[in-house]
């Protein structure tokens, strides 16, 4: 059975400010580096076979914390980047709502293509999902840890599971440095085995649902 761990990057100053990162290359902040260092031992205990990461620094630097413990190399894949947010990148969500109210409303409603050059959900899911599938195909029966981004993780996992956008809207966001676990066998295909897994407030592993996640953008 192949195991796929889809790991959201650590916190950034733009997460804290609810500013749209999209595909802009924003670094982890001190909290994000601490989150990555705290999560890495839990993931190392899963005995990963390979580590793959988005080439954006916040994901690649998150993966580096696991590399430091395992000694495994990390392969970067630009297909694992976050959703491209077009004209919204660099703005706070308050600014987006003020400047582009109609498009913001469509985005809030979960429409596939809200406008303003924002990448459609179908395109995002196919792009990230294909990268996840390729990573899994390279090591059948292995454990693959993929450091990526919140929105991309949800749509990419949904692509593998065959879930449509209505189902995905009911799936909560990943907290920073939490992950989704999928497993694959030849009979049942991809199955969801865990979501939003990571460190909870008391310091132990768990579902991580005791506080609301920062913006996954």
Residues in CB range of 31: below 8 A, 6 or more apart: 10, 11, 16
82 is catalytic: yes
SS3 call for 64 = helix
DSSP, residue by residue, 76-120? E-GGGSPPP-GGGTTSBHHHHHHH-HHHHHHHHTT-S--STTPPP
Distance between CA atoms of 177 and 94, rounded to whole angstroms? Answer: 25
The yes-or-no answer on residue 9 being catalytic is yes
Q: Which of 9, 104, 178, 184 is catalytic?
A: 9
- Identify the CA nearest to 106 among candidates 91, 121, 92: 121
Q: Is the dihedral of CA 49, 190, 123, 169 positive or negative?
A: negative
| Residue 98, SS3 per DSSP | helix
Catalytic entry in 34, 82, 117, 178? 82
Structure tokens at 77: 């894949």
Show which residues are catalytic.
9, 82
């Amino acid at each position: 059975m192949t195991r796929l761990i889809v790991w959201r990057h650590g916190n950034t100053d733009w997460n804290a400010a609810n500013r749209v990162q999209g595909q802009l290359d924003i670094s982890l902040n001190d909290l994000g580096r601490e989150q990555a260092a705290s999560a890495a031992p839990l993931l190392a205990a899963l005995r990963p076979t390979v580590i793959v990461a988005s080439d954006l620094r916040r994901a690649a630097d998150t993966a580096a914390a696991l590399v430091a413990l395992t000694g495994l190399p990390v392969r970067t894949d630009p297909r694992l980047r976050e959703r491209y947010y077009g004209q919204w990148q660099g703005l706070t969500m308050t600014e987006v709502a003020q400047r582009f109210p109609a498009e913001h409303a469509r985005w809030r409603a979960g429409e596939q293509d809200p406008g303003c050059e924002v990448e459609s959900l179908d395109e995002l899911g196919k792009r990230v999902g294909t990268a996840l599938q390729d990573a899994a195909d390279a090591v059948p029966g292995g454990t693959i840890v993929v450091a990526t981004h919140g929105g991309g993780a949800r749509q990419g996992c949904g692509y593998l599971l065959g879930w449509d956008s209505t189902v995905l809207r009911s799936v909560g966001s990943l907290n920073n440095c939490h992950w989704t676990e999928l497993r694959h066998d030849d009979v049942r295909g991809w199955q969801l085995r865990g979501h939003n897994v990571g460190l909870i407030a008391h310091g132990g592993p768990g579902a991580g649902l005791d506080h609301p996640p920062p913006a996954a953008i």
